[in-house]
Structure formats: C-alpha cells, structure tokens
Amino acid sequence: MSSTRSLLIASLLIVSLLAYMYADSLVFLLSRWLGSEDYSHGMFVPFISGYLVWQSRHRLSQMAKERSWWGIPIIAMGLILYVVGELSTLFVLLHVSLWVVLVGITITLLGLRGAQAIAFPLGYLLTAIPLPTFFYANLSSQLQLWSSSLGVGCLQLVGVIAFREGNVIDLGQVQLQVVEACSGIRYLLPLTALALLCAYLFKDKLWKRVVLVLSAIPISILLNGFRIGMIGVLVELYGKGAAEGFYHLFEGWVIFMVSLALLIIEMGLLGKIGAVGVNQPFLGQFSWGQLSKDPGMAAASTRPSRIVPTPSPAYLCSVALLIPFTVLSSVLTDREEIPPTRMTFVDFPMQIGSWRGERFPLEKQYIDTLRFDDYVLADYRSAPEHLVNFYSAYYGSQRKGQSAHSPKSCLPGGGWEIVSLTHKELPSSPQMRQPVMANRAVIRKGDQTQIVLYWFKQRDRYLADEYLVKLFLLWDAISRQRTDGALVRLASLVGPGESEAMVDQRLQEFAAEIGHELNRFVPD
C-alpha cells in the first residue's frame, strides 16, 4: 500500500507539472484536432495507444523489475528541447519535447525492457502531432498540383474536355480551383496513421508490414485525384453546385471509406503471399483477438501478479527534475520582449523616387490566416507598362502560432505554377548593412510569366532560408529579447517583348529604392 501510494502521488505530481508546462501547446494541439479535418484523427490516437498499453499489462507484469536510470538523461533532453521550442516559437518542438519526456518517464518506471515492450504504442503517439507549418504548406502545395493533374487525367479519360493551369482546372465555362482543403492531405495523414496501426496488428513478415504502410501514400493521392475528376464530371453534368455542400462532403467520406477498404483488401492479399495450407484466415496473420493476447498472458491468467509497478528512485527523481523546469516555463512564457520603435505601414510612401504606388486592402480571410501586426500591399509603377507588386507583413513578436508565412506555398494559387525557385543575392544599398539574399521564383500561368522575389527581414538580417529564420529567432530571443521581423515580397509580370533579365533588373531597382524606406517600418 505504501509503494502504491508513493506511485500515485508521484504520478499526480508529474501529470500536474507537465500539464502546467505544456498548457499552451496542449491547447493548440486540441484546437488542431477539433478545428482541422487534416488532424481530426489525432483525437483518437492517445486512446488507441492507451488501450494498446493496457493490453500489454500482463506481459509487463511478468518482466523482471529493472532499476533503470537511462530515463533521466532522456527526460533532460526533452526538457532542453522544450526550452528551444519556447524560444524558437515552434509548437512542433514542444509537442516532440513532451513525447520525449513521456518516453523518459516510462523508462524510469518500467525500465528499458518494459519500455521496449510498449514501443509501438509510445511511438504511435507521434502520429497525433501536426506537421510543422512550413513543411505542411509545401506538402499540401505539391499534393494540390498532383491532385489537379490526376483530376484532369480522369476527366480526359471519360471524354470531358479539361485543361490545367497550376491548381485550377478549366472546364470551359467553369473553372475549379483545387484549394488546400482538396489537396488530399486530409486522406494522407489519417490513412497513414491507420496503416501503421494495421501493420502493427498484422502479425506477418516485416516487408509486408512496410509495404502496407507505404501503400497508404499512393492510395490516398490516387483516390483524391479520382475524387476531383468525379467532381469535375458532376459539375459538367449538373452545374457548379455539384462541387459544393453535401456532394463535396459525401464524396470525401466515400473516398476515405474506399481507401480504407483498399487497405483491408491489401492486407488480405499480403497475408496470402507465402501462406501454407488452405485454412489461413483471409487477413493472413491479422486477428482482432490478438488485441487481447500477448506472450505470457496464459501464465499471467493462472496466477496473481503485481501489475502496479513499484516507483523506482529514478521515477521519483524525474519529479525533482521537472520542478525547476516548471518554474523556468513561467519565466519563458511571461518573458517580456523589447519592441523596437517603428513607423506603421499606413504611412509607407506611395511615391518612391520615380515609382508611384496605389495601395490595396487584403481580404479578411487572409488577414485572419496570416495573423500579422501590420502590412502594406501596393502596386508601384515607374511607367505604365512597368508594374511591381509590393507586399510586406510585419510581426512585432513571432511567438508560437504567429510568424511570417513563406510565399512558397501561396505562389501556385490562382492557376500559377512554379517553374523554378532559386536563391539570388540582390545588390546592397547604403541603407542595408549587408546584401539581401532573396528567393527568386519564376511562376507561369498559360502564356503569362511572373518573377517573384521574397526574403525575410529579421532584425538586421536579410534571409532567404526559412530554417535560418527560426534559428535566428531562437538566438535573438535569448540575446536581444526580440523576435520581431517581416516578410518582403516583390512581383512583376514579364511583359510582351521583355526578357526575364529585364524584369530582374526592374525588381532589383525597386528593391534598392524601398531599401531607403523599409528600415523605418521594419527596423534593425
């Protein structure tokens, strides 16, 4: 009773400390599970993992009790990752940090052999973590293009005349845009998580289980392309309303159930490969009864065993390790940044040298998504045919969930397709302390070509690499108590009779001109 009471008290302390430390990240995680269909499966993952651990309880009770201290350095690694995640404003690091800490705590409680026995349920928790924003955006953008191509292929296969421009499918009088929600990522993520679970329960050769998991990727992509093609056929037959409302929702659910059925059929086929005899079950070695059977369960059921482990000194030490980091988390969360003095973009001049600008407002849906503190969007002309679109978004504090979004994921929108994306060093001006390293994207839609330059101004740095942006966010948060910064984007069409080199020159000249002004609005 004494050891059980000690275990209960220590466990309650650990849960309380972790809940306090990771409160913001857990709230964010729950909001993604409830608010995004892409991650709606995440709500069930902890319960599935918990059930799998519960089914292993008899095997765990039969293992020799270890006194392993290996969990302590793993917990320390997770807590260091927590500090990095807080300072670099990356939720994904906080989520991974919590998982690492949980793994370390499990090792202190059950030992290395005990943790190895429930390695899959522990690892399965990672499928509930949302992808990093920049990785998700790039993946979704690529899936949009693949789905658009597959959708057009399906339409042409049944005789419907359709053409693709970027992620826009042209049906003549009607244009269908394959938006981010239709990229297929909301099939890919839950189906992959489901395939992992099936592979764990599919007690067969390793290569079969690997094939089962990997097959979830082409299944989800191909079926989503088929779904888009089917929507195009319905639009051709019944009008644009067939692509909205109930039809769209129904098609989505039907396709997901079909993908699940294909996964089950694949398990059956894999189970028959190399099977001996005719009495093999249709799903090979897969059986739901295995959820309640473990090696050693028969022995466990015939004699009483101690299921509740005794709290080891390492487990109790983990509580002592969490306490100072809990105090530190309060300091990190409540830390004050030193905002720089700046002018607001409402005062950004519409006359810069020979360039005259016209300001435009952003739609509310984009403002809500980008979550910036200030922005400017304007078209500048130095001649009637020489136009440069200028956009900059300023973030006073790039805390978790609020940071500059890369245009890389937005460029393919509206039918535009990225032809090339490279880095380019722009000539420095006297107002810039260092050369500007920018991303140069060439995008195309039909006969139109546009060149886009964009970079991130992070305090006194001009960066093109998104990973460097996060690295300097961490460094400046510690050394300067600042995480402010901005995205700067310039775009110009390649006009009739113009070459890309001529447009590059125009963009570079405009970039040099705004360098005289930009530091007042995005200070070093």
What pLDDT is stored for residue 106 in this prediction? 92
Q: Report d(CA 53, CA 212) in Å as an integer.
A: 23
Classified as helix, coil or strand, 422 is strand
Q: What is the pLDDT of residues 128-147, one digit of tens each?
A: 999 887 777 777 777 877 77
Q: Which range in 19-23, 147-151, 240-244 is most confidently predicted, on average pLDDT?
A: 19-23
What pLDDT score does 295 carry?
42
Give the residues across from 440 on adjacent strands.
422, 453
Q: What pLDDT is stored for residue 309 in this prediction?
A: 58
Helix (H) or strand (E) run with residue 365 in it: helix 364-370
Confidence of residue 460 (pLDDT cuts 50, 70, 90): confident
Mean pLDDT of the chain: 81
Give the pLDDT confidence of 362-378 residue by residue, as tens digits. 888 788 878 889 999 99
pLDDT in the model for residue 37: 80
Of 95 and 244, the one with more pLDDT: 95
Of the spans 130-134, 333-337, 385-389, which averages the highest pLDDT? 385-389
DSSP designation for 303: S
End-to-end CA distance of the chain: 62
- Render 183-200 in DSSP notation, one character per residue: SSHHHHHHHHHHHHHHHH
DSSP strand pairing (386-395 vs 351-352): unpaired
pLDDT digits (tens, 9 = 90+) for 289-324: 444 444 444 434 444 445 455 667 888 888 888 988
Task: Say what the pLDDT of residue 431 is.
Answer: 58
* Cβ partners under 8 Å of residue 3, min gap 6: 310, 311
- 414: pLDDT strictly greater than 70: no
Model pLDDT, residue 318: 86
Residue indicated by tokens 């990356």: 90
Mean pLDDT computed over 426-439: 73
Mean pLDDT of 183-187: 76
Q: Is the pLDDT of residue 53 over 80?
A: yes
> Tens digit of pLDDT for each residue in 3-43?
778 788 888 999 999 999 999 889 999 998 998 888 889 99
Section 240-261 average pLDDT: 71
Give residue 44's pLDDT.
94
Report the run of H or E that residue 462 belongs to, with start and end.
strand 461-463
Are residues 359 and 446 in contact, defined by beta-carbon separation less than 8 angstroms? no
Confidence band for 47, pLDDT divided at 50, 70 and 90? very high
DSSP 417: E
For residue 358, the cross-strand partners are 379
pLDDT tens digits, one per residue of 468-479: 888 888 888 878
φ/ψ (deg, to 5) at 266: -60, -40
Higher model confidence: residue 206 or residue 290?
A: 206
Percent of the chain with pLDDT over 70: 82
Lowest model confidence (mean pLDDT) among 52-66, 84-98, 158-172, 447-461: 158-172
pLDDT of residue 427: 73
Contacts of range 100-104, beta carbons closer than 8 Å, 24 or more positions apart: 100/74, 100/75, 101/18, 101/74, 101/75, 103/71, 103/74, 103/78, 104/71, 104/72, 104/73, 104/74, 104/75, 104/76, 104/77, 104/78, 104/318
Residue of higher predicted confidence among 472 and 179: 472
Interstrand relation of 175-177 and 448-458 (parallel, antiparallel or unpaired): unpaired
pLDDT for 294 equals 45
Neighbours of 376 (CB within 10 A): 22
Residue 355 gets the label, from left (phi > 0), alpha (psi -120 to 50) or beta, of beta
Above 70 in pLDDT, residue 260? Answer: yes
Is 181 a residue whose pLDDT tops 70? no
